[in-house]
C-alpha cells in the first residue's frame, strides 16, 4: 500500500472483531510512529497500551462515573467554545451520518447515550491506547503529537489493523491514573481504539466528506 492510498483509506472505525492484537504488532506500529517529527526533537509522547483485565476495569470505572453524573475533567479545550457556522454544520453532518448508519433516531436518547458510552470502551476494540504529555509542554508539542498519532494510524493499516482516535478517552484523567496506577502529573491528551475492523458492522460503512483543495487553499506567486 502506497502512502496516498493509506491516507485515503484510513477512517475512524467504531466496531471491532473479538480478535487479539499481539504486543509484537503494537511494538512494530510504535517503532514506525516514533519517527514523527517534533520541535527540536523533543519527542513528547508517552503511550499506555491497555488491554485485557486492565481495560475492563478502566472502562467499567469510566462508565460508572458517567452514569453517576461525575463531570468530565479533560485537561484542555478540544472543541471551540463558540462554533462558527461552517464548523457547526460539519459537526452536525458528521453526527447525522453516525446515527443514521446505526438507525438511531434523533429522539432516541437511550440508544444515543448507549452509543456514546461505547467511546469509553474504545468501541470494544481489544486495545485501548492512551497518550500522555508532560504539562510543561506547550501548543507546539500538541502539533507534534498529531503527527505521531497519524503515524500510528497509518502504520496500523500496514498491520491490517483499524483505529479510531478518541478525545473522549481523555475525559476522566483521574480515573485513568488511579486504575492504571500512573503519576497524576502527566496530561492525558487522548486515546485510540486499535484492533481488527468488523467489516459487517454498518457503523463502519459511512465516510465523512472532505472539502475540495480549492476551498481551503490560496496560492501567492
Q: Residue ranges of the domains in the chain?
A: 22-206
pLDDT at 106: 87
Beta partners for residue 165, in sequence order: 192
> pTM score, two decimals?
0.96
Give how far Cα 159 sits from Cα of 30, 149, 162, 197, Å. Answer: 12, 15, 9, 12
Residue pair 186/134 in contact (Cβ under 8 Å)? The answer is yes
Closest CA to 172 of 71, 36, 89: 71
State how far the Cα of 167 lies from the Cα of 186, in Å rounded to an integer.
Answer: 16
What the block records as the C-alpha cell of 153 is: 494510524
Predicted confidence pLDDT, tens digits, the chain (221 residues): 899 999 999 999 999 999 999 999 999 999 999 999 999 999 999 999 999 999 999 999 999 999 999 999 999 999 999 999 999 999 999 999 999 999 999 899 999 999 999 999 999 999 999 999 999 999 999 999 999 999 999 999 999 999 999 999 999 999 999 999 998 899 999 999 999 999 999 999 999 999 999 999 999 99
For the record, the C-alpha cell of 104 comes out as 438511531
Classify domain 22-206 by CATH architecture: 3-Layer(aba) Sandwich (3.40)
Q: What is the pLDDT of residue 1?
A: 81
What is the C-alpha to C-alpha distance for residues 68 and 83, in angstroms, rounded to an integer?
29
DSSP-derived letter for residue 18 is S
Amino acid at each position: 500500500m502506497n502512502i496516498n492510498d493509506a491516507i485515503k483509506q484510513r477512517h475512524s472505525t467504531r466496531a471491532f472483531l473479538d480478535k487479539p492484537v499481539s504486543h509484537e504488532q503494537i511494538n512494530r506500529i510504535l517503532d514506525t510512529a516514533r519517527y514523527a517529527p517534533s520541535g527540536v526533537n523533543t519527542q513528547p509522547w508517552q503511550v499506555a497500551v491497555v488491554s485485557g483485565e486492565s481495560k475492563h476495569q478502566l472502562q467499567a470505572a469510566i462508565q460508572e462515573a458517567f452514569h453517576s453524573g461525575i463531570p468530565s475533567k479533560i485537561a484542555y479545550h478540544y472543541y471551540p467554545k463558540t462554533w462558527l457556522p461552517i464548523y457547526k454544520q460539519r459537526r452536525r453532518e458528521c453526527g447525522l451520518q453516525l446515527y443514521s448508519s446505526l438507525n438511531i433516531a434523533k429522539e432516541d436518547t437511550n440508544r444515543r447515550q448507549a452509543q456514546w458510552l461505547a467511546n469509553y470502551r474504545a468501541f470494544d476494540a481489544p486495545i485501548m491506547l492512551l497518550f500522555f504529555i508532560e504539562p510543561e509542554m506547550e501548543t507546539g508539542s500538541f502539533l507534534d503529537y498529531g503527527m505521531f498519532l497519524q503515524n500510528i494510524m497509518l502504520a496500523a493499516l500496514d498491520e491490517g489493523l483499524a483505529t479510531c482516535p478518541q478525545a473522549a478517552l481523555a475525559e476522566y484523567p483521574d480515573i485513568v491514573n488511579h486504575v492504571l496506577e500512573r503519576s497524576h502529573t502527566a496530561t492525558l491528551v487522548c486515546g485510540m481504539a486499535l484492533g481488527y475492523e468488523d467489516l459487517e458492522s454498518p457503523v463502519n460503512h459511512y465516510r465523512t466528506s472532505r472539502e475540495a483543495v480549492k476551498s481551503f487553499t490560496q496560492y501567492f506567486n
